[in-house]
Structure 1
Amino acid sequence: MKHIKNTLKLFKLDWQRIFKNPIATFLIIALMIIPSLYAWFNIKALWDPYANTGELPIAVYSDDKPASFKGKEVNIGDEVLKNLHENKQLGWKFVDSKQELDKGVKSGKYYAGIYLPKDFSKDLLSFTTGEITKPKIDYSINEKINAIAPKIADKGASSLQAQITDQFIQTASSTLVSVFNEIGYNLDSNLVSITKVRNMILSTDENINQIDKYTQEVVALHGKIPELKTKLGKANEFVGYLPQVDALGAKLVDLNDKMPTIKEQAKVILTLQEKIPEIQNAGKQLAMIDEDFASVEQTMNEGINEAKQGLLIIQGVQGALPEIQKLGDQADSLATATSEGAAKLQEALPGITSSMKVTLQAISTISSSVASVVEQLRNNHLTPEEREVLKQQLSDSLGRQQAVIQQLIQTMTQIQEAAGNQELQPTIAKLNTVNNMISVLKAKVDSLDVNAITDADLEAIQNTANDIAATAGSIDVDAVSTMVNNILTKLISTISTAQDLLNKAKQIDFAALLSSTEATVSNAIGILEKYQAELPAIKQEIHDANVLLNGHMDTIVNGINKGADLYNNELPVIQEKLGLAASFIQNDYPGIKENITGTLKTVNEKMPDLEAALDKANDLIQNDWPNIKSGLHKAAEAIRKGEKDVDLGEVIKLLKMDATAESDFFTKPVEIAENKIYPIANNGSASTPFYTALCLWVGAVLFSSVATTDFYLDEKDRGKYSKREQFSARMMTFLVMGLAQALIVTLGNYFLLGVDVRQPVYSVLFALLIGFSFMMMVYVLVGLFGNVGKGAAIIILVLSISGGGGNYPIQVSGKFFQFINPFLPFTHAVNLLRESAGGIYWPNAWKAIIILAMISIVFCVLGIFLYPFIEEKTKKLANVSHESRIFH
Structure 2
Amino acid sequence: MKNILRIFKYDLKKIHKNVIAMIVIMGITVIPTLYAWFNITASWDPYGNTGNLKVAVASSDEGYSGELLSVNLNLGDQVLTTLRGNSQLDWTFTSAKKAKEGVKSGKYYAAIVIPKDFSKDMMSIFTSNVTHPEIKYYINEKENAIAPKVTVKGANAVQQQINDTFVQTVSQTALEAFQLVNNVADETDDQTIADNLSAALAQISTDLSSAAGTVQAFSDMANSAAIMLNTTTEFLSQSGSGTKASVNALGVAGNGIDSLNSALTGTTDSINQALSQSASFYSAVSTCVGNALDSYNSDAQACANALNTVSGRVQNLIDGYQSLENSLSQIADSITEPHLKGMLMQAIGNIQKAKASQEAIRNAINDAATGITSATANATELKNNIDGLIAQSNSSISTVKKDYENNVKGSLDDLANDLTSTGSSITSLLGQLDNSLKDISGVTGSAAGNLTEVQKALSDSASLLNEASGKMSNVATAMLSSDDNGIQLLTSLLSEDPEAIGSFLASPVKLNETHIYPIENYGSAMAPFYSTLAIWVGAVVMAAMLKVNVSDNLKHKLNNPKEHQLYIGRILLLLCIGFLQSALICLGDLYFLGIQCEHPVLFVLAGCFSSLVYVNIIYALTVSFGDIGKAIAVVLMVMQVAGSGGTFPIQCAPEFFRKVYPLLPFVHSMNAMRECIAGFYGMNYWIELGKLALFLIPALLLGLILRKPVIKLNDAFTEKLENTHLI
Fold conserved between structures, TM > 0.5:
yes
RMSD of aligned residue pairs (Cα, Å) = 3.2
> What is the CA distance between 1:7 and its match in structure 2?
0.6
Contact in 2 for aligned 1:803/1:818 (Cα 8 Å): yes
Cα deviation digits, residues 634-659 of structure 1 (max 9, x gap): xxxxxxxxxxxx99678327963623
Cα gap change, 1:40/1:116 in structure 2, threshold over 3 Å: closer, same or farther?
Answer: same
Contact in 2 for aligned 1:174/1:663 (Cα 8 Å): no
Which residue number corresponds to residue 168 of structure 1?
A: 166
Contact in 2 for aligned 1:724/1:867 (Cα 8 Å): no
Contact in 2 for aligned 1:57/1:111 (Cα 8 Å): yes
Q: Structure 2 matches for 1:689-700, cutoff 5 A?
A: 689-700=528-539
The CA distance in 2 between the partners of 1:180 and 1:8, in whole Å, is: 96
Cα gap change, 1:745/1:184 in structure 2, threshold over 3 Å: closer, same or farther?
Answer: farther
The CA distance in 1 between the partners of 2:182 and 2:585, in whole Å, is: 71
Which residue number corresponds to residue 882 of structure 1?
A: 722
Cα gap change, 1:183/1:784 in structure 2, threshold over 3 Å: closer, same or farther?
Answer: farther
> What is the CA distance between 1:869 and its match in structure 2?
4.0
Cα gap change, 1:184/1:649 in structure 2, threshold over 3 Å: closer, same or farther?
Answer: farther
The CA distance in 1 between the partners of 2:469 and 2:14, in whole Å, is: 99
Cα deviation digits, residues 681-707 of structure 1 (max 9, x gap): 101111101100011111111111111
The CA distance in 2 between the partners of 1:869 and 1:744, in whole Å, is: 38
Which residue number corresponds to residue 681 of structure 2?
A: 841
2:143 paired residue among 142, 145, 148? 145
Amino acid at match of 1:78: D
Q: Does 2:573 match 1:751?
A: no
> What is the CA distance between 1:870 and its match in structure 2?
3.3
Cα deviation digits, residues 779-810 of structure 1 (max 9, x gap): 11111111111111111111101110001101
Which residue number corresponds to residue 270 of structure 2?
A: none
Cα gap change, 1:815/1:181 in structure 2, threshold over 3 Å: closer, same or farther?
Answer: farther
Which residue number corresponds to residue 636 of structure 2?
A: 796
The CA distance in 2 between the partners of 1:175 and 1:847, in whole Å, is: 64
Q: Does 2:473 match 1:651?
A: yes
The CA distance in 2 between the partners of 1:874 and 1:647, in whole Å, is: 85
Amino acid at match of 1:699: G
Cα deviation digits, residues 70-118 of structure 1 (max 9, x gap): 22211111101100110111111111x3222222222111111111111
Which residue number corresponds to residue 541 of structure 2?
A: 702
Which residue number corresponds to residue 127 of structure 1?
A: 125
Which residue number corresponds to residue 733 of structure 1?
A: 573
The CA distance in 2 between the partners of 1:805 and 1:200, in whole Å, is: 56
Which residue number corresponds to residue 30 of structure 1?
A: 27
The CA distance in 2 between the partners of 1:180 and 1:663, in whole Å, is: 18
Cα gap change, 1:710/1:128 in structure 2, threshold over 3 Å: closer, same or farther?
Answer: same
Q: Structure 2 matches for 1:766-805, cutoff 5 A?
A: 766-805=606-645
Amino acid at match of 1:85: R
> What is the CA distance between 1:124 and its match in structure 2?
1.2
Cα deviation digits, residues 654-685 of structure 1 (max 9, x gap): 96362324267345543322211111110111
The CA distance in 2 between the partners of 1:183 and 1:875, in whole Å, is: 101
Q: Structure 2 matches for 1:528-547, cutoff 5 A?
A: none
Cα deviation digits, residues 836-869 of structure 1 (max 9, x gap): 0100113322221111112124422431223444
Which residue number corresponds to residue 76 of structure 2?
A: 77
Cα gap change, 1:184/1:800 in structure 2, threshold over 3 Å: closer, same or farther?
Answer: farther
The CA distance in 1 between the partners of 2:675 and 2:503, in whole Å, is: 41
2:61 paired residue among 61, 64, 68? 64
Q: Structure 2 matches for 1:216-365, cutoff 5 A?
A: none
Which residue number corresponds to residue 344 of structure 1?
A: none
Q: Does 2:671 match 1:671?
A: no
Cα gap change, 1:661/1:141 in structure 2, threshold over 3 Å: closer, same or farther?
Answer: closer
2:582 paired residue among 735, 739, 742? 742
> What is the CA distance between 1:184 and its match in structure 2?
13
Contact in 2 for aligned 1:724/1:868 (Cα 8 Å): no
The CA distance in 1 between the partners of 2:630 and 2:570, in whole Å, is: 17
> What is the CA distance between 1:748 and its match in structure 2?
0.5
Cα gap change, 1:74/1:23 in structure 2, threshold over 3 Å: closer, same or farther?
Answer: same
Identity of aligned residues (%): 37
The CA distance in 1 between the partners of 2:615 and 2:4, in whole Å, is: 18
Provide the TM-score with structure 2 as the length reference. 0.56
Cα gap change, 1:184/1:877 in structure 2, threshold over 3 Å: closer, same or farther?
Answer: farther
Q: Does 2:149 match 1:155?
A: no
The CA distance in 1 between the partners of 2:656 and 2:519, in whole Å, is: 30
Secondary structure of 1:806's partner? coil
Contact in 1 for aligned 2:590/2:600 (Cα 8 Å): yes
> What is the CA distance between 1:712 and its match in structure 2?
0.7
Cα gap change, 1:719/1:881 in structure 2, threshold over 3 Å: closer, same or farther?
Answer: farther
Q: Structure 2 matches for 1:94-105, cutoff 5 A?
A: 94-95=93-94, 97-105=95-103
Amino acid at match of 1:99: K
Greater relative contact order (Cα < 8 A, sep 6+): 1
Q: Structure 2 matches for 1:421-460, cutoff 5 A?
A: none
Which residue number corresponds to residue 52 of structure 2?
A: 55
The CA distance in 2 between the partners of 1:52 and 1:787, in whole Å, is: 44
Amino acid at match of 2:13: Q
Cα deviation digits, residues 493-551 of structure 1 (max 9, x gap): xxxxxxxxxxxxxxxxxxxxxxxxxxxxxxxxxxxxxxxxxxxxxxxxxxxxxxxxxxx
The CA distance in 1 between the partners of 2:85 and 2:469, in whole Å, is: 48
Which residue number corresponds to residue 91 of structure 1?
A: 90
> What is the CA distance between 1:721 and its match in structure 2?
1.7
The CA distance in 2 between the partners of 1:695 and 1:175, in whole Å, is: 62
The CA distance in 2 between the partners of 1:651 and 1:679, in whole Å, is: 50
Which residue number corresponds to residue 279 of structure 1?
A: none
Which residue number corresponds to residue 8 of structure 1?
A: 5
Runs of 5+ consecutive residues of structure 1 not aligned to the other structure: 207-645
Which residue number corresponds to residue 498 of structure 2?
A: 660
Cα gap change, 1:144/1:16 in structure 2, threshold over 3 Å: closer, same or farther?
Answer: same
Contact in 2 for aligned 1:723/1:867 (Cα 8 Å): no
Contact in 2 for aligned 1:53/1:89 (Cα 8 Å): yes
The CA distance in 2 between the partners of 1:664 and 1:194, in whole Å, is: 23
Cα gap change, 1:718/1:805 in structure 2, threshold over 3 Å: closer, same or farther?
Answer: same
The CA distance in 1 between the partners of 2:663 and 2:708, in whole Å, is: 28
The CA distance in 2 between the partners of 1:647 and 1:92, in whole Å, is: 42
Amino acid at match of 1:723: E
Runs of 5+ consecutive residues of structure 2 not aligned to the other structure: 186-190, 208-467, 477-489
The CA distance in 1 between the partners of 2:499 and 2:97, in whole Å, is: 44
Q: Structure 2 matches for 1:493-572, cutoff 5 A?
A: none
> What is the CA distance between 1:716 and its match in structure 2?
3.5
Contact in 2 for aligned 1:123/1:132 (Cα 8 Å): yes
> What is the CA distance between 1:169 and its match in structure 2?
3.1
Which residue number corresponds to residue 823 of structure 1?
A: 663
Contact in 2 for aligned 1:14/1:733 (Cα 8 Å): yes
Cα gap change, 1:649/1:783 in structure 2, threshold over 3 Å: closer, same or farther?
Answer: closer
Which residue number corresponds to residue 430 of structure 2?
A: none
Amino acid at match of 1:72: V
Secondary structure of 1:822's partner? helix
Amino acid at match of 1:743: A
Secondary structure of 1:60's partner? strand
Provide the TM-score with structure 1 as the length reference. 0.46
Amino acid at match of 2:109: Y
Cα gap change, 1:647/1:33 in structure 2, threshold over 3 Å: closer, same or farther?
Answer: closer
The CA distance in 2 between the partners of 1:181 and 1:659, in whole Å, is: 16
Which residue number corresponds to residue 344 of structure 2?
A: none
Amino acid at match of 2:533: L
Cα deviation digits, residues 762-789 of structure 1 (max 9, x gap): 1011111111111111111111111111
